[in-house]
Each structure stands twice: as C-alpha cells, then as structure tokens.
Amino acid sequence: MQDIRSELLTWVKDERTPIALATVIELEGSGLRKPGATLAIAADGEIIGSISGGCVEPQVLEKAEALIRDETGSKQSTLIRLEADDDPLHNPLSPCSTALEIALCLLDTEVLEHVAKACAGRSPFVWGIVLATESSSASDLDRSRDIDTHILFGYHPETHEVYGQAARQEQLFLGPEWRAKLNELKLPTIFSLAGRRIFACPVTPRPRLVIIGASHIAQHLAAFATTLDYEVIVGDPRERFLSRERFPESVALHSGRVDRLLHAMALDHTTAVAVVSHDDKIDDVAVAVAVNSPAFYIGALGSSTTQKARRKRLIADGLSTGALDRIHGPIGLGIKAREPAEIAVAILAEIVATYRAESHDAR
C-alpha cells in the first residue's frame, strides 16, 4: 500500500470511494510481486498498483468490483487462491509461481492516512489484514469474536495505537501477544494468533538518494530516482547550480558545505550517496563523511586514475582502507555509458542492485 499511497489519497480526496484493495498475502515460487504488493480498484473502475506481471489481475478485478458494488449484501471480503496446474496455456501463474493467495478488502482511509504519515516521517508502522475467521480453524473460545470479513488495520509499534475503525471495534489488538508479534516484524508475513490468520506488513522508509554536486548527470539522476519513489536530496556549495528549474519540484535542494549537509541528514541503511560534482574539493569531503556512515551505497564519479588519487589523499587524511573499500568507483554499472543521461541510468541501476542485494525487500 505504501507504494501507491499518494494516488490512493488523491482518490479519497476526489471521493472515488469505496476503494477495493487486492493484496498478495502469500506466494509460493518466485513471482514478480511479493507479499504486500497491492492493487487498488476505485469505484469508477480505475486501477493502480499491481499484484503480478499482469497475468493474475483479470482473475481479481471481477471479484473486486463485486465487492465495491456489494453484490452479496454483506460486504463480504474475498480470499482468492490461485494454483498452477498442468495446462500452461490456461495457467495464470505460469511460469512464475506455483501458488498465490490474495486477500480482497475495502480500504479504510484512516489506515491509509497513517501509512502516509509513517512514510513521510520515516517512522515505524505496520499495516495488515485480519483474515475472516474460518469456522474449521476457530476454537469454541473464539467463536464469540468470529469475523466474516477481512479487516484492514494499522498499528504503531511505539505508541501501540491501533488504526482502522473495524479493527478497533473488534478489539483484536489488546493483548500483549499481538503487540509482541507486530513489534518484531521485519518482513511481510502471515501468522496465526488467537484462532485467526493475520497478514502483516511493515512500512519501510522510502530509500533516500543524496546527490552531491548539482551537475548535468545529477539532473537526470534526480529525475530518474523520483520515478522510483526515492526521496532525493541534491547538495552543492555552488548555489548557482541549484536552480529550481533544473530539478523536479519534489527534489530537495541544499546549498552550503556538503559535510554539514551529510551529517545533518543522519545517513542510515536506507540512504544512498552519489558524489558527482567532479570537483575534488567537494567530492573528497563528501566521500570522507559518507564512508563512515551506515549508507547502503556510496558511489563517486571519476576514472580509475581519479579514484586512486582520491583514495591516496583520503588515506593521508586518516581514513581507513576498509572504509574506502565501500566506494563504488568508477560509479555505476559498466554499461559503457557516455552521455549524462546514460551515466545516470548506470548509477541508478547500481544503486537499485545494491539496495535489493541488502534485502531491503519489505516494501
């Protein structure tokens, strides 16, 4: 849900409700979209997001639209399980997965608003779905609290607040065992508790890209990264290069000393740093700060000769060889890029590859 939150908020504002959500809750096999992937369907039929590469969506849309129309008269939510069979021509999962489970429910705008707040504030949050009770799985003790619809919920691990009108009415999250499960959540998962199945998905901070040097390469890199929903910051002590016309409106621009900027950013494990000013006085300072941070990616523009010269200078300044080994330089994948836009593609591809390799997959 966090990947399509902006569009969903616009739908809510425009009163394109009710909105149905189709969420992947369990996957067997590779699959293009992992648990937590969400497809949203507006009351007027428009869709955003995806739950597969396009092979599964037709199987889901009809049931989602029926949920919106409330054809059953009870707003009954739907659990869809698709399994591969021996007929590849009529198998919607082939060749990606052997089984896929999808939960349909109606959007609770309160949950959506708090997902958006958590993303903006880079704060911990969990959203998920309490699945409708299966009569065969519930004990007699639980029958007084059986639910016949899937319930969307939100949960704040620090305050223990529960969001979602239906979830609060059901009083499902009062016990410490619920909180313990959700507080320790790292990846989207399904678990059983108190006789019912719960799908829960942690909201992970948007990856950040800090670009040092407002160069022509930086213009393309910032534009490309915003399309991937990266939070993008461009820093350069040369204020004249930080013209708003050169960068997308969503990109934050910072003038002044780059070391102060990087220290103020509190670089973390979801932050990438691309140093592309090609000015040693700027780049050396930025690299020296970045290599001693938890940033998952640090790349620096320049040829192999330039990299060796920078490394020699920074070692002389007291930086360790281990810290400097973290630098991707020359920056970007080796695709023989020449033009600024091509170089930006190579840089962003290397950033994405590094990000995924370090298992930032909870989104």
What is the pairing mode between strands 20-29 and 97-106? antiparallel
pLDDT more than 90, % of the chain: 57
**Six-digit token string for 336:** 């023989």
254 found inside a domain: yes
Within this chain, do residues 148 and 251 fall inside the same structural domain, yes or no? no
On whether both 221 and 247 belong to a single domain, the answer is yes
| 229 & 135 share domain | no
In a domain? residue 234: yes
Are residues 14 and 159 both part of a single domain? yes
Determine, yes or no, domain membership for 363: no
Residue where a domain terminates, one of 179, 202, 225:
202
Residues 64 and 213 occupy one common structural domain: no
CA dist list (Å): 111 to 40, 108, 201, 212? 14, 6, 13, 36
Tens digits of residue pLDDT in 55-93: 778 878 888 888 888 754 455 558 888 776 544 444 555
**Mean pLDDT calculated for residue range 292-310:** 94
Count of domains observed in the chain: 2
Same-domain status, 11 and 85 = yes
State the pairing for strand pair 47-49/78-83: unpaired
For 105-160, the pLDDT digits (tens) are 999 999 999 999 998 888 889 999 988 865 544 444 344 445 567 889 999 988 88
Residues 62 and 156 in one domain: yes
Name the percent of the chain lying above pLDDT 70.
Answer: 85
User: How many separate helices (H) and strands (E) can be counted in the chain?
Assistant: 11, 16
The pLDDT of residue 275 is 97
The answer, yes or no, to whether residue 182 has pLDDT greater than 50, is yes
Nearest of 288, 291, 280, 289 to residue 325 by alpha carbon = 291
Give me the CATH number covering residue 328. 3.40.50.720
Identify whether the C-beta of residue 279 lies closer than 8 Å to the C-beta of residue 255: no
pLDDT of residue 89: 44
- Which of 202, 232, 258 corresponds to the end of one domain? 202
In a domain, 10, yes or no: yes
Q: Which of 97-101, 181-185, 218-222, 292-296 has the lowest mean pLDDT?
A: 97-101
109-121 vs 5-13: helix axis angle to the nearest 10?
A: 130
Helix (H, G, I), strand (E, B) or coil at 8: helix
pLDDT category of residue 167 using cuts at 50, 70 and 90: confident
User: What does the buried/exposed string (b/e) look like for 29-49 if buried means 16 or more CB atoms within 10 Å of the residue's CB?
Assistant: eebebebbbbbbbbeeeeebb
DSSP result, 9-34: HHHHHTT--S-EEEEEEEEEE--SS-
The answer to whether residue 224 scores a pLDDT higher than 70 is yes
- Which stretches of 228-359 are DSSP H helices? 258-265, 280-290, 304-316, 321-324, 340-357
Residues 94 and 125 in one domain: yes
Which of 133, 167, 202 is the last residue before a domain boundary? 202
Q: Has residue 303 been placed in a domain? A: yes
- Cβ-contact 41, 62 below 8 angstroms: no
Q: What is the pLDDT, as a whole number, of residue 95?
A: 54
Q: Are residues 176 and 236 in the same domain?
A: no
Are 49 and 196 within one domain?
yes
194 and 212 together in one domain = no
User: Following DSSP, what letter does each residue of 171-182 receive, concatenated?
Assistant: TTT-SHHHHHHH
What integer pLDDT is reported at residue 84 of this predicted model? 62
Tell me how far apart the alpha carbons of residues 263 and 249 are, in angstroms, rounded to a whole number: 24
Q: Supply the Cα-derived Rg of the chain in whole angstroms.
A: 24
Same domain, 133 and 169: yes
Q: Is residue 362 part of a domain?
A: no
Residue 361: φ, ψ to 5°: -110, 5
Residue whose structure tokens are 């999962």:
93
Domain range enclosing 258: 208-357
